[in-house]
């Protein structure tokens, strides 16, 4: 374990261009650096001595990336500096993407939500993070920028492994993009943790879109958290539901498929087997809730 008393250089760029030049320069130099927005995740691991970067780049001052915008065509756009609390309290999020606000209510403490950012949460790459499963079922994209240009990656492909993401060393996440929720769609999310607001032992998000008669499932997305090396989309479970009338028996089959797709590990809090059972329980429960919301949409 590295010595937590190690000193580091601190940089606070005033523009995105300046920040991108810094990360590009440090990447070329091979310097060990970290970028922080709210810093709620990285500060903890630095205090624990897990990491000891030579330089820290704070982008908290880039106010141009602190926004939550929506229009019917472009959907929802969340700037990289938008806090969890901003999402939780946003009237447009509550009205158009209510599941995001619901997720935020049980994400850590109010103090953390006031300072931590949504983009920072997914950049941390923790498979137990609350945000990723919801972004996956909302079909979100993550926008990144570097000195060479911009690119986007689907949220379901953003996390590659434990604490490893698709973000290159010389890039920054600038925006999270969520398309307008289709008509006749219901979305729900839940997680299980031993302490309210703590990391999930397992979490499940489900989005169900019904046909015009609100009888047949025309589309479905199922996102799982804390039960694999990355947040994952349970595609085999989805195929069981897509194109059919959803019943309790069908949801039970989908739940079993999702359990089979998950790959949880044992931890001090619970065994992998227990976490897998939670997946099955929650896919049925959350799937039923999403279905009811779709019928009322």
Q: Quick check: is 3 in a domain? A: no
Domain end position, chosen among 178, 211, 233: 178
For 32, the token pair is 């060990």
Domain end position, chosen among 142, 160, 178: 178
If pLDDT is split at 50, 70 and 90, which confidence band does 191 have? very high
Domain end position, chosen among 140, 158, 178: 178
Quick one: 164 and 196 in the same domain?
Answer: no
Q: What is the pLDDT of residue 117?
A: 93
Of 50-64, 88-102, 204-218, 265-279, least confident by mean pLDDT is 50-64
- Domain harbouring 30, CATH code: 3.30.43.10
Q: Looking at the 3D structure of the chain, how many domains does it have? A: 3
Domain region containing 225: 185-292
Q: Quick check: is 297 in a domain? A: no
The pLDDT of 118-141, averaged and rounded, is 95
Q: What is the pLDDT of residue 2?
A: 42
Quick one: 90 and 120 in the same domain?
Answer: yes
Q: What is the pLDDT of residue 3?
A: 44
Where are the strands (E) in the chain, listed by range?
A: 9-11, 33-36, 55-58, 68-71, 75-79, 141-146, 149-154, 159-161, 164-165, 171-178, 185-192, 202-210, 217-225, 232-233
Quick one: 80 and 112 in the same domain?
Answer: yes
- Which of 69, 89, 88, 70 is closest to 79 using CA atoms? 69
Tell me: the pLDDT tens digits for 163-178? 999 999 999 999 999 9
If pLDDT is split at 50, 70 and 90, which confidence band does 4 have? very low
Q: Quick check: is 4 in a domain? A: no
The pLDDT of 250-270, averaged and rounded, is 96
The pLDDT of 261-271, averaged and rounded, is 94
Quick one: 163 and 84 in the same domain?
Answer: yes
Q: What is the pLDDT of residue 51?
A: 82
Torsion angle in degrees (nearest 10) through CA of 224, 228, 229, 235 = -60
pLDDT at 263 over 50: yes
% of the chain at pLDDT higher than 90: 84
The pLDDT of 53-57, averaged and rounded, is 93
Contact 37, 85 (CB under 8 A): no
Q: What is the pLDDT of residue 190?
A: 97
28-to-23, 24, 116, 146, 272 alpha-carbon distances in Å: 9, 6, 29, 13, 41
């Amino acid at each position: 374990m590295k010595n937590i008393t190690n000193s580091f250089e601190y940089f606070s760029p005033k523009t995105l261009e300046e920040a991108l030049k810094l990360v590009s320069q440090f990447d070329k130099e091979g310097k060990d650096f970290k970028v922080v927005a709210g810093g709620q995740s990285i500060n903890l691991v630095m205090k624990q001595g897990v990491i000891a970067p030579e330089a820290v780049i704070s982008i908290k001052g880039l106010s141009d990336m602190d926004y939550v915008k929506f229009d019917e065509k472009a959907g929802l756009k969340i700037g990289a500096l938008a806090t969890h609390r901003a999402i939780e309290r946003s009237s447009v999020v509550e009205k158009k993407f209510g599941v995001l606000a619901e997720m935020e209510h049980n994400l850590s403490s109010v103090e953390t939500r006031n300072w931590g950012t949504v983009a920072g949460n997914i950049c941390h790459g923790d498979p137990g993070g609350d945000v990723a499963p919801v972004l996956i079922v909302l079909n979100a994209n993550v926008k990144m920028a570097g000195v060479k240009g911009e690119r986007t990656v689907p949220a379901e492909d953003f996390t590659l492994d434990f604490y490893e993401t698709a973000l290159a060393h010389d890039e920054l996440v600038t925006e999270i993009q969520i398309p307008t929720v289709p008509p006749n769609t219901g979305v729900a999310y839940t997680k299980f943790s031993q302490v309210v607001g703590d990391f999930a032992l397992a979490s499940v998000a489900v989005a169900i879109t019904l046909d015009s008669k609100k009888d047949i499932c025309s589309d479905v997305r199922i996102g799982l958290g804390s039960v694999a090396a990355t947040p994952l989309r349970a595609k085999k479970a989805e195929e069981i539901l897509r194109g059919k009338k959803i019943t309790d028996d069908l949801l039970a089959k989908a739940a079993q498929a999702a359990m089979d797709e998950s790959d949880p590990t044992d931890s001090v809090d619970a065994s992998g087997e227990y976490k897998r059972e939670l997946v099955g329980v929650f896919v049925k429960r959350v799937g039923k809730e999403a279905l009811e919301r779709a019928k009322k949409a």
